[in-house]
Amino acid sequence: MQRLLTCIRGNLAPEEIVKNSLLCCVMGVAMLRAAVGLGSPSGPPQGAPPQAQPSSHGVFVVFLGTGMPRPDPTRQGPSLAVVANGKAYVVDAGTGVVRQAAGAYARGVSALQPTHLDIAFLTHLHSDHTLGLPDLILTPWVMGRSVPLRLYGPTGTQAMANHLEQAYGEDIDVRIHGLEHNTTTGHQVVVHEVQPGVVYQDENVKVTAFTVQHGSWKEALGYRFDADGKSIVISGDTRPAESVVQACNGCDVLIHEAYTEIPGEADKSAYFSSFHTSAEELGDIAAQAKPKLLIITHYVGGAKLNPAQLIQQVQQKFHGPVVVANDLDVIAP
């Protein structure tokens, strides 16, 4: 275990993450949590130069936000980026999504340069997963993105994008027709409302959506990314779901939510058991799904939560490697 922890702590550029992940194979898991430590709400110093050039190969995940609805200043809203072959694919858009991307960019993840963010996948339309959506639509455009944002998500995504465009209509008009002379294209959103199955494919990734069980939400999705011979499965928000087990089925990385008991919130137990997955239940899911690495994110507990305790609860059933993600962690399968 000591070797693994040594491997995952550090301050590496993305190329080094991918390269040095080979050093971590002693446990059968090529994994690095590197770069970047805790995100800060204010981000890195403005104008700080990136520490590395874009990685031209490989796949890794950058956790842009690992928080939940509670406004914990050390954890932004749920959002991550799968970076494959130097291109970033954002999943969910919690608070701070673009500033966190800028923070990762300043630390060397060139794919997360804000103006390069032009494709995203929403798991569902809960506010904590979409509060950063206007940020993702507008900020990269304000900074110079000229192409529309391609946005994949469940039914309702188009309506949300339309409403946001309407809400920011005055801003868009002033930026296009005022002295900023912004493009007439970069603020646009091309929405694809998706059904389970392969929803996107290019030369870097294949993305497959699957349905999960998130309380009374009519549609909530998880996504599987296949890239560079690796498989990364993202649960989205869900109670224990067989679809997650099937989507992973021995995948390289399973990224899953979890909750643990929270003092004083017992009255919410019906909500949690219908909408979310307890740590013990996640252990059961992971034991069936058999990921080579389980990463817990978007977990309920905040400052009260002891990550070691959370991992211990999961490992009652799942005996593979488990880590708890922090904001701006970079993990390579």
Nearer to Zn ion (CB atom), residue 181 or residue 218: 218
- Residue where the block lists tokens 């990224």: 255
Q: What tokens were used for 138?
A: 């507008």
5: alpha, beta or left? (left if phi > 0; alpha if psi -120 to 50): alpha
Nearest to 333 by CA among 25, 6, 87: 25
Nearest to 122 by CA among 234, 216, 258: 234
Q: What tokens were used for 1?
A: 């275990």
Minimum CB–partner distance for residue 282 and Zn ion (Å): 15
C-alpha distances in Å from residue 196, one per residue of 53, 229, 242: 36, 22, 14
Minimum CB–partner distance for residue 123 and Zn ion (Å): 8
**Paired strand residues for 189:** 149
Minimum CB–partner distance for residue 227 and Zn ion (Å): 24
Give me the catalytic one of 72, 92, 118, 128.
128
329 is an active site residue: no
Minimum CB–partner distance for residue 254 and Zn ion (Å): 17
Minimum CB–partner distance for residue 131 and Zn ion (Å): 11
Name, in order, each residue with C-beta under 8 angstroms of 184's C-beta and a sequence gap of 6 or more. Answer: 176
Positive or negative torsion for Cα 260, 265, 270, 272: negative
Assess contact for 16 and 24: CB atoms under 8 A: no
Nearer to Zn ion (CB atom), residue 126 or residue 230: 126
Nearest to 111 by CA among 86, 93, 90, 94: 86
Applying CB under 5 A, which residues contact Zn ion? Answer: 126, 237
C-alpha span between 165 and 171 (Å, rounded): 10
Nearer to Zn ion (CB atom), residue 130 or residue 313: 130
Active site residues: 128
